[in-house]
Amino acid sequence: MQTRAGSNRRLLWGAALAVLSAMCYGASQVIAKKGMKDYDVPPILFTSMGLFFGALVMMLISAKSMPKHAGEPRRYFGFMVLAGVTSGGAVTLLVSALSKAPVAVVTPVASLNPIFTLTMAHLFLQRLERVTLRVVLGTAMALSGVLMVILGSTLL
């Protein structure tokens, strides 16, 4: 059984990693916009090459644990494929959006994903995670900030 201190530490690590993830995603969007604009690279080519190199790095990082999970049931592999397809689709759509609109507009709109994440977590992860009123209110506050950025950039 996990202690409360251990649980808090895991939560802090999770939050810190989420912030680092947000920083990387933010940087990748600016890099994508600049690369496509400066070198006239089509969004689909930029995305496929970016995902290829990202996958290559991830394969190198995870290579040590691959043999341990080689015998997992096929349904687990299906979840990995589905997660990869949706993630790849999301990045492709994001980079396509960046090729057509300013990064300052696209990024906040793409940041609306918590609406879908909370809805899907509530529908599919009820046994693993609880979507509490506190989480919903926190997400609503964050999304209201996103909406203010969107409205501010389109009205000015």
Q: What are 142-156's pLDDT values in tens digits?
A: 888 878 877 777 676
Examine residue 85 and state whether it is found in any structural domain, yes or no.
yes
CB of 97 within 8 A of CB of 31? no
Average pLDDT (5-29) is 88
Q: Name residue 138's amino acid.
A: G
CB contact set of 148 (below 8 Å; sequence gap of 6+):
none
CA pair distance 95, 73, nearest whole angstrom: 34
What pLDDT, on a 0 to 100 scale, did the predictor assign at position 156? 61
Confidence of residue 89 (pLDDT cuts 50, 70, 90): very high
Which residues are CB-neighbours of 54 under 8 A, at least 6 positions away? none
| Cα–Cα distance measured from residue 145 to residue 123, given in angstroms and rounded to the nearest whole number | 26
Is the confidence at residue 44, as pLDDT, over 70?
yes
* pTM of structure: 0.75
Place of tokens 């049931």: 73
Residue 18 shares a structural domain with residue 76:
yes
Q: Is residue 96 part of a domain?
A: yes
Q: Which domain holds residue 140?
A: 111-156
pLDDT tens digit sequence for 51-82: 999 999 999 999 888 777 777 777 788 888 89
Task: Assess whether 78 and 131 both reside in one domain.
Answer: no
Considering the domain architecture, whether residues 92 and 119 belong to the same structural domain is answered as no
Burial class (CB in 10 A: 0-12, 13-18, 19+), 76: exposed
| Predicted local confidence at residue 113, as pLDDT | 85
